[in-house]
């Protein structure tokens, strides 16, 4: 079987993990394949059909016909010899193999595509997948992986999430310490919109350390220098743009301030003195 190795992933057990071969023979397009399978199935039915009908065991007959037909096609060369994977970077190789649950030499027609896809889609890094048979002997697996967006902190625990707010990983997140941290219940669902908002002012975004989702309705942005920026519930983009203009004109972020309150339109309320925890409502 061929499984592409993830980026920066060490070789498993010292074994070479080849990249997918460019050659794939679409055997199913050849004119003789479908008639061959039909003939095998028909021959199997003729061998056990009368017993099934006469005894009334229609369901058992159907199962026997299916199993016998699939077994016969495997003996004719329709068996798994290769598995080719594309799109894998972060997904664990062994987890993917186990989820696919296909063994070399197994009848290729016996693979339950829907069940295998469901198992693969449930893997932490997988956003979506497709599985195809390339008869007579190759299984193609294509996956689209999730892209890490931010670290979501809830009840003191961190979770790596994507733009859809789906948790990818919990724990062992040292490799993602450079990502923005969003804090609070529901923050994971608002993170993508927050990143777009912050990114509208790149110079300000460079100052951002974390953000708290307050009261399920608005953001407090925590900047370097322990400055908290309180954004309004409505039209937060306009408020963020105003802060950029204030800093450009008055270098407000360079002053000895602890809170910049932008919740009142066309005003900037500045608080000096002890730093706050940014959790005001």
Tens-of-pLDDT digits for all 281 residues of the chain? 555 555 555 444 443 344 444 444 444 444 545 555 545 444 444 444 444 444 555 566 555 666 666 666 656 778 999 999 999 999 999 999 999 999 998 899 889 999 999 999 999 999 999 999 999 999 999 999 999 999 999 999 999 999 999 999 998 899 999 999 999 999 999 999 999 999 999 999 999 999 999 999 999 999 998 999 999 999 999 999 999 999 999 999 999 999 999 999 988 999 987 655 545 54
Q: Is 13 helix (H, G, I), strand (E, B) or coil?
A: helix
Name beta bridge partners: 177. Answer: none
CATH architecture of 150-271: 3-Layer(aba) Sandwich (3.40)
What sign has the CA pseudo-torsion 231, 234, 236, 241? Answer: negative
Encode pLDDT of 196-242 as tens digits: 999 999 999 999 999 999 999 999 999 998 999 999 999 999 999 99
Mean pLDDT of the chain: 82
Q: Is 223 helix (H, G, I), strand (E, B) or coil?
A: strand
pTM as predicted: 0.73
> Measuring CA to CA, which residue among 242, 158, 147 is closest to residue 195?
147
Domains 12-145 and 150-271 share a fold: no
Q: What would the two tokens of residue 264 be?
A: 């009142």
Q: Where are the domains of the chain?
A: 12-145, 150-271
Residues 6+ away with beta carbon under 8 Å from 257: 227, 270, 271, 272
Just give the CATH number of 12-145: 3.10.20.310
């Amino acid at each position: 079987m061929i499984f592409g190795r993830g980026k920066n992933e060490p070789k498993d057990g010292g074994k070479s993990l080849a990249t997918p071969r460019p050659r794939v023979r679409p055997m199913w397009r050849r004119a003789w394949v479908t008639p061959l399978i039909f003939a095998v199935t028909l021959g199997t039915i003729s061998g056990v059909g009368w017993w099934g009908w006469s005894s009334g065991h229609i369901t058992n007959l159907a199962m026997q016909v299916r199993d016998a037909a699939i077994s016969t096609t495997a003996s004719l060369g329709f068996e798994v010899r290769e598995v080719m994977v594309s799109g894998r970077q972060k997904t664990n190789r062994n987890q993917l193999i186990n989820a696919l649950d296909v063994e070399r030499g197994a009848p290729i027609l016996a693979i339950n595509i829907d069940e295998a896809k469901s198992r693969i889609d449930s893997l932490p890094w997988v956003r979506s997948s497709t599985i195809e048979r390339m008869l007579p002997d190759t299984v193609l697996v294509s996956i689209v992986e999730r892209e890490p967006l931010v670290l979501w902190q809830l009840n003191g625990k961190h979770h790596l999430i994507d733009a859809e707010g789906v948790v990818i990983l919990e724990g062992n997140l040292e490799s993602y310490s450079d990502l923005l941290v969003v804090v609070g219940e529901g923050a994971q669902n608002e993170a993508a919109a927050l990143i777009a908002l912050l990114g509208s002012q790149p110079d300000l975004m460079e100052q951002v350390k974390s953000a708290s989702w307050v009261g399920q309705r608005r953001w407090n942005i925590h900047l370097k220098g322990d400055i908290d920026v309180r954004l309004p519930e409505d039209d937060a983009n306009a408020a963020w743009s105003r802060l950029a203009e204030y800093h450009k004109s008055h270098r407000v972020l360079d002053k000895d301030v602890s809170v910049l309150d932008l919740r009142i339109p066309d005003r900037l309320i500045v608080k000096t003195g002890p730093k706050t925890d940014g959790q005001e409502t």
